Amino acid sequence: MPISIQREETRWQIRLEAQVTIASATELKAFLMEWLASGKDLDLDLAAAEEIDITTMQLLWAAARDAERKSAGVACQWSDAAIDAVRSAGFDGMPGLANTSVLTGL
């Protein structure tokens, strides 16, 4: 399964692994909506992501934008494939995610 989630008392972790494409978009959207409703901070782990498609990037963008409005924190770990997906899709200004040191200078 390309998506796993860990719910903790003060924060959540969502891990995306292997190929995260439109096939897993419904599941990812449900997890992101549940996390946003929790009001907790998020550790988004993309370190093992081998492929991220535009649908996934759009979901992450929307969730990051909503998190920013709700003052929820988002920390992110990036794989090279995730960085390439952000760059090629033009998402270098993603709210809540663009300030990570890995993406500086995009």
Give the pLDDT score at 50.
92
Cβ-count burial 91-105 (b if 16+ within 10 Å, e if not): beebbbbeebebbee
* CATH numbers and ranges of domains, the chain: 3-99 (3.30.750.24)
* Residues in the chain with pLDDT values less than 70: 1, 94-106
- Looking at residue 81, its pLDDT comes to 87
Q: Summarize pLDDT for 20-34 with one digit per residue, the tens.
A: 999 999 999 999 999
Q: Residue 20 corresponds to which amino acid? A: V
